[in-house]
Amino acid sequence: MENSGAQGEFVETPIAVRYAETDQMGVVYYANYFVWFEVGRGAWCRARGFSYREMEAEDGRFMTVAEAICRYKAPARYEDDIAVRTYAEASKDKVVRFNYEILNKATGRLLATGSTVHVVTDANMRPARIPDRYRPLFGLPRR
Amino acid sequence: MENSGAQGEFVETPIAVRYAETDQMGVVYYANYFVWFEVGRGAWCRARGFSYREMEAEDGRFMTVAEAICRYKAPARYEDDIAVRTYAEASKDKVVRFNYEILNKATGRLLATGSTVHVVTDANMRPARIPDRYRPLFGLPRR
Amino acid sequence: MENSGAQGEFVETPIAVRYAETDQMGVVYYANYFVWFEVGRGAWCRARGFSYREMEAEDGRFMTVAEAICRYKAPARYEDDIAVRTYAEASKDKVVRFNYEILNKATGRLLATGSTVHVVTDANMRPARIPDRYRPLFGLPRR
Amino acid sequence: MENSGAQGEFVETPIAVRYAETDQMGVVYYANYFVWFEVGRGAWCRARGFSYREMEAEDGRFMTVAEAICRYKAPARYEDDIAVRTYAEASKDKVVRFNYEILNKATGRLLATGSTVHVVTDANMRPARIPDRYRPLFGLPRR
């Protein structure tokens, strides 16, 4: 599931396009790529050895989205086998950035690229420190 | 917004079909009718003088869905002006049932009918009494 | 992926719950179970040796939903590993019925059951025959 | 529905937050802002005197999304009354750009800003000219 790429290590997760995700243009509706990004983030966390569900439930820390970008290059269609490649970097203490590539697995074609920027917050959406045990996972020095 | 019909009083709420709600067949994806039912339920509550948001936040009561049914008669399309007609009845103390009609407002055509059955629960999804102040709103005798 | 059950042969397909599928109650929003049913239908078709995408694109036949029902027994939560079990029967020439069970794979608990009834139509949503080559797949006698 | 603002004329359209749009964090899931942008685009078209549905159906022209960006400033919650303000500009012949502001109508607070860039294409997603009759609507000189 993991590999080295131009942007460093990524985690790849497969997605089969659902009928629900298409629109009347016959392709995947543009907002759904952001759902796929979220699936990629979750897979990235699990590949790093933790679950985002536990980070919320046990540590009371949330990765609140501050920015989301997607650039669309080619359409995805119903039943296409898609790969989401997720790269992460913690640029600052309370900020985590993910980059994504969406590919058609059969053709290898790059369908979209994107990124999301997250502020680590508590349950009340106030900025909060990344818990120490997650710091190395995000490439931050231990405290 | 309110009227008498075959099934008694209903609350009607307008919905404009979103592009996101269509699928590659060129019509509204079938699961989205249940989202429209939810919009109808919320409108029904407000027409009865309360907000479902407050029922959750202030009373800690949730209308957990136990059953959902939709029968589809004719398709809805992008930009169609839709009306959701919502009828409610509390058959039992902890159970509330809503019935719905989905209509095309321009043609008057009935597009779908449906119903949802809800169990009133606490935040942990354990069955709980309908708070007294909501009982008459659901047609239940006061305590 | 296939097994014998109380209702006969089913096709089982795994689904990991997405964050997007949860709602503010902390569980999967009820309409999303119908999306999972659709994922189950697609898997059922592939297990029978055909693709629903091709049935639409090559044969011009659509399985238009006429009725959808779900009964909810226990909630599904973010990152739960879900199994959708799909059973199909063609009761009549132009009507196909699918039954579904949604299970939590870790606990084996049955979370929901449901069904969808489909009318086979052409692209203009007029009832149409099931193409001959699909008839045995749906348990109908060959012509 | 129309007004002058810092970025010029905008079209404002109201949206009531649906329960379906929330996630387990208790706020609107981030991908749904892009659905609201789409609602804003449709309202913008209608305010300019045309329907995007007709542009697709009658002129065979599609506004294929090439880029989508959202910056999130404050959360939206169930039953919040939201306003989407949509601004459009056609920077080039085959490219249309929309900018958006998402506001909480009760508080006036700016919740998010964003933009989408669209390439005008034919039904096969090949770049195509904006039909002459739409050019002035997008601020382009007549031919």
The count of residues in chain A is 143
ipTM of this predicted structure: 0.92
d(CA D67, CA D62): 15
CB-CB contact of A79 with A106 (8 Å): no
d(CA D18, CA C29): 11
Question: Taking the CA atoms of chain D, what radius of gyration do you get in angstroms?
Answer: 16
Q: Which two tokens stand for residue A141?
A: 């020095």
Least confident of A110-124, B126-140, C26-40: B126-140
Q: What is the DSSP letter of B125?
A: S
Contact C30 B68 (CB under 8 A): yes
Confidence of residue A91 (pLDDT cuts 50, 70, 90): low
Q: What is the pLDDT of residue A17?
A: 98
Q: What is the pLDDT of residue D5?
A: 41
d(CA A84, CA A103): 7
Single-letter code of the amino acid located at D26: G
Nearest-CA distance from B31 to chain A in Å? 8
**Alpha helices per DSSP H over chain C:** 32-47, 52-59
Q: What is the DSSP letter of A125?
A: S
CB-CB contact of A138 with A96 (8 Å): yes
Across B53-76, average pLDDT: 95
Task: Examine the pLDDT at B63 and tell me if it is beyond 90.
Answer: yes
Nearest-CA distance from D66 to chain A in Å? 5
Task: Examine the pLDDT at D7 and tell me if it is beyond 90.
Answer: no
d(CA A134, CA A60): 13
Confidence of residue B5 (pLDDT cuts 50, 70, 90): very low
3-state secondary structure of D8: strand
Spell out the CATH class of A2-138: alpha beta
Q: What is the pLDDT of residue D91?
A: 66
Across A72-83, average pLDDT: 97
Q: What is the pLDDT of residue D84?
A: 98
Q: What is the pLDDT of residue C8?
A: 64
Q: What is the pLDDT of residue C124?
A: 87
Percent of chain D with pLDDT over 90: 70
Contact D34 A34 (CB under 8 A): yes
Task: Examine the pLDDT at A4 and tell me if it is beyond 80.
Answer: no
Percent of chain B with pLDDT over 70: 93
Burial (CB count within 10 angstroms: exposed 0-12, middle 13-18, buried 19+), residue C140: middle
Across C131-136, average pLDDT: 86
Say which of D20, D38, D42 has its CB closest to residue B38. D20
Higher pLDDT, B133 or C44: C44
**D22, D24, D35, D77: which to substitute to probe chain C, counting the most C Cβ within 10 Å?**
D24
Task: Examine the pLDDT at A7 and tell me if it is beyond 70.
Answer: no
Task: Examine the pLDDT at D4 and tell me if it is beyond 50.
Answer: no
